[in-house]
Structure 1
Amino acid sequence: MDALDIRLLKLLQDDGRITVSQLSQELALSRPSVSERLHRLQEQGIIAGFTARVSPAAVGRTILLFIQVSQLRMNPHEFEKFIEDQPYILECHRVTGTVSYFIKAAVANMNSLQQLVDRLIALGTVNTSIVLSSPISHRIVLPEDV
């Protein structure tokens, strides 16, 4: 990646709806050059996809929480299959250390939270933390040497 690719990544992460024409103007490149760079970054897996970031609170999921799961009572593959089917779970990360998984979830109310925890308790030891605030909820990702 060169400096133009890095600027392109920053612009896209600032505004995922920016047009190729706008990118072309910002980078002082032709539209075909910008399109080629975008295509190459996608082929290399640097750009993993284009999506909309939706605010969980704005769609009624006002309680954001992190769940730590340890001492699994099933194999990790079975646990991960179970987690895939849980609509409240936004992210799930298998980690090293005494905790096996960190899970990020968003629920509408305490009843939904209780139901989710009740489902998870049967699978292992569960520890939940409700998010009070998120000073950094999204950060632009660029190579470290920038």
Structure 2
Amino acid sequence: MDRIDVSMLEILQEDGRISVSDLSKKLNLSRPSVSERMIRLQEKGIIDQFSAVVPPAAVGRDTLLMIQVSELKDTIQHFEKMIAEDTRVLECHRVTGEVSYFIKAAVEGMESLRELVDTLISYGNINTSIVLKSPVERRKILPEHREEE
């Protein structure tokens, strides 16, 4: 990736709905060149998808949670299938160390939180934290070392 690709990634992460015409103006490139670069970045898997960002609170899910699951009491396959089907779960990461999984979930309040904990408790030891504030959220992802031209 060159500096133009990196700039394109930065702009697209700020505004995924930007038109090719506006993007070409910002990058000082022709529209066909911008389109070609976007296709190449998608083919390489650098751009995975374009999607809308919906804050959970905007749809009534105003309680954001971080959940640690340790000492799993069920098979990994069964647990991961259950987690994948639970729409309250936003992210789930299997990790190394004493904790087996980190789960990010969004619920509609304390009753929904209790129901989620009740569901998870049969799978292992659960440690739930309510997110008070997110000082870093959806950071742009760019290469750590930018190629110089």
Q: TM-score w.r.t. structure 2 length?
A: 0.96
SS at the partner of 1:16? coil
Distance 1:36 1:13 in 2: 18
| Aligned residue in 1 for 2:14 | 14
**1:101 maps onto 2:101 in alignment:** yes
**1:111 maps onto 2:111 in alignment:** yes
User: Could you tell me how far 1:137 is from its partner in structure 2?
Assistant: 1.2
Distance 1:113 1:42 in 2: 38
After superposition, what is the alpha-carbon deviation per residue over 1:41-93, rounded to whole angstroms, capped at 9, x for unaligned? Answer: 00100001000000101110010010000111112121110101111000000
Q: Structure 1: which amino acid aligns with 2:37? A: R
| Aligned residue in 2 for 1:66 | 66
SS at the partner of 2:54? coil
Q: Is there any run of 5+ residues in structure 1 with no aligned partner, and where?
A: none
User: Could you tell me how far 1:107 is from its partner in structure 2?
Assistant: 0.3
Q: Is there any run of 5+ residues in structure 2 with no aligned partner, and where?
A: none
| Aligned residue in 1 for 2:136 | 136
Distance 2:58 2:82 in 1: 27
SS at the partner of 2:99? coil
User: Number of aligned pairs?
Assistant: 146
| Aligned residue in 1 for 2:4 | 4
| Aligned residue in 1 for 2:121 | 121
Distance 2:136 2:46 in 1: 22
SS at the partner of 1:90? strand
**1:41 maps onto 2:14 in alignment:** no
Distance 2:119 2:125 in 1: 11
Q: Structure 2: which amino acid aligns with 1:23? A: L
Distance 2:28 2:125 in 1: 55
| Aligned residue in 2 for 1:77 | 77
Distance 2:5 2:82 in 1: 39
Q: Structure 1: which amino acid aligns with 2:59? A: V
| Aligned residue in 2 for 1:28 | 28
Q: TM-score w.r.t. structure 1 length?
A: 0.98
